[in-house]
Amino acid sequence: MEKQLLKAVLYSAIKPDESRLEQFSSFIKEKYQTEAVMEWKQEDALRGGFRLEVGSDIYDWSAESRFRQLQTHWKHIAEHSEGNVIPLLQESVKQWLPTAEPTEIGTVLTVGDGIATVSGLPGATYGEILLFSLGIRGMVMDLKKDYIGCILFGDDQEIIEGSEVRRTGRVAGVPVGDAFLGRVIDSLGTPIDGKGVIAAQEYCPIERPAPSIIDRQPVNKPMETGILAVDSMFPIGRGQRELIIGDRQTGKTAIALDTILNQKGKNVICIYVAIGQKASSVAGLVETLKKHDALSYSIVVSALASDAAPLQYIAPYVGCALGEYFMNRGQDVLIVYDDLSKHAIAYRALSLLLERSPGREAYPGDVFYLHSRLLERSANLSEEKGGGSMTALPIVETQAGDVSAYIPTNIISITDGQIFLESELFFAGQRPAVNVGLSVSRVGGDAQTKAMKKAAGTIRLDLAQYHEMEVFTQFASDLDITTKRQLVYGQGLMRLLRQAQYHPLKQYEQVILLVVALNHVMEDIPVADISCFAKKLICFMEENASSLCHDIEKKGQLSEEMEQDILRLSQEFRKKWSDGTCRV
């Protein structure tokens, strides 16, 4: 069989002589181990240089290409040097020699809706960044036989059919560093808060493998939310992934925001990723963080509803990359994805535009992998890896309380538990509207301090019995005294679990309230007065047992003696409350 020859085209302003053509032929033969058919074409713009195209490889020795290489060289020196870089740059210019490495240049076939198809880049890899005209970047998302599909991180109106596309050889990444704390950025890591440029310390890929099992340790340290209903019954540990799920406008973001506010002074980095939200909602959240002095330890990543689907798609991965930077340095991170329902919708739009086969509810077949590879990156690292952790609170919106829909069931199976918020409870005034029966934490008591575990006692069982009894009492007209007392006790517990937004409770406050409530001290207090009673009880305990409060908060211990002191003081306060001496 006759050996096929390579076709090579040399572009230059002046035709080379035979000896120069022979040099090019020898270079090709040595590089590709085969003969080549040489062809010369005149291009006046290439004065002082040339461009050699061998198959799909391009060797660009034009003045523009060499200047680009020098710029890249300068940038590398500037990024990896400290102090004055001028002497280093001057020395590097003297020693620098340009190189003629093969580059692939493709051509745009079609463009629209944030998607471009490109031909002529056979070496492009999945997830690689491509450079389009006017500096617009895209990421390879689909590999076909004759072309590739990529998503665009910029205005596709600036790209036209037939324009050039270059490979960068780099995967998608984001700048990271301590300077990002207190800032609001978009999906590309660009600041959008008007506070100027952010000085990055590193550049991290937005996608990377999750920590292996060997690199992890069990989740055993609490990530306190400050919400009594959550910390007592569905505790969250550092490194856990706890789903917050419920219908629209049931307080999902409020729980995540209160958790962020509760990390003040606890050396936890908080990252809030807003996906597909209104600009006014994100602005309101940032103002809330500022008001409560929580922005200094937080980062907000915003992909608005008005942003293109590719930017909404990469937003949670950008937030996760920022979180991993701090986690790998041994710090504790809390990251909120609000919400992954909109993230899945953005990915569905991209997949359909890339002509991938739709599956259930028109989502692509890999939509489960979309979220599993994101959430699995949250972990509690072993001491050998620095002992850092990243706790994830993904949020998912349901329709009419249907937790059996495609995306909710997917994420429920990935996470370590869920906090289910119910519309009926919310509109009945029970806020946070946590459904005790459907909510669960698969880490459980391992993520609680000994004080909280002992104080919480049988609260879940008591509430379950109350809800069961409440259903039957709807059909009964005559109740015995025991049943009535259990109903009153259950109503009191439910009222105690109501909590105002932006007012997270400290650990000692929660422990005291649980000990008092579960020992029936509040049983005879009218339901409407329980919130006021609880608030004034805490003030009374802080005044009369400050050392006890301090020990519970700092040591996380609750001895029998401490519990008896709490009951004794609460009974004393209960008597004063009955006498009216503690009321306003």
Q: Which residues, including other chains, have CB under 8 Å from residue 227's CB and lie 6 or more apart?
A: 255, 258, 259, 432, 499, 504, 505
DSSP state of 487: H
Token pair recorded at residue 99: 């190189």
* CB contact set of 514 (below 8 Å; sequence gap of 6+): 228, 232, 452, 455, 456, 457, 459
For the chain, counts of helices (H) and of strands (E)? 18, 21
Cα–Cα distance list, 539 to 160, 225, 542, 573 (Å) = 68, 21, 5, 10
Q: Which helix (H) or strand (E) holds 455?
A: helix 450-456
Asked if 524 contacts 553 with a C-beta cutoff of 8 angstroms, the reply is no
Q: Let me know: does 412 contact 262? Beta carbons within 8 Å.
A: no
> What does the CA dihedral 176, 253, 467, 506 come to, rounded to 10 degrees?
60
What is the separation of C-alpha 77 from the centre of its chain, rounded to a whole number of angstroms?
A: 32
Task: List the one residue out of 438, 401, 431 whose CA is nearest residue 246.
Answer: 401
Assign residue 520 a region: left if phi > 0, alpha if psi is -120 to 50, beta otherwise? left
Q: How many angstroms separate the CA atoms of 34 and 538, rounded?
A: 85
Between β-strands 128-131 and 137-143, what pairing exists: parallel, antiparallel or unpaired? antiparallel
- The residues assigned a catalytic role are 442
What do you get for the CA distance between the two ends of the chain, in Å? 102
Mind spelling out the 3-state secondary structure of 179-236?
HHCCCEECCCCCECCCCCCCCCCEEEECCCCCCCCCCECCCCCECCCCCHHHHHHCCC
- Contact between 436 and 463 (Cβ < 8 Å): yes
Give the residue among 521, 513, 539, 494 at the shortest CA–CA distance from 578: 521
Name beta bridge partners: 337.
273, 394
Under a CB-based contact definition with an 8 Å cutoff, are residues 237 and 380 in contact? yes
Which residue, 46, 85, 86, is CA-closest to 64? 46
Are the C-beta atoms of residues 493 and 517 closer than 8 Å to each other?
Answer: yes
| Cα–Cα distance, 212 to 77 (Å, whole number) | 34
Q: Which residues contact 286 (CB under 8 A, 6 or more apart)?
A: 184, 193, 295, 300
Alpha-carbon gap, residue 478 to 556, rounded angstroms? 45
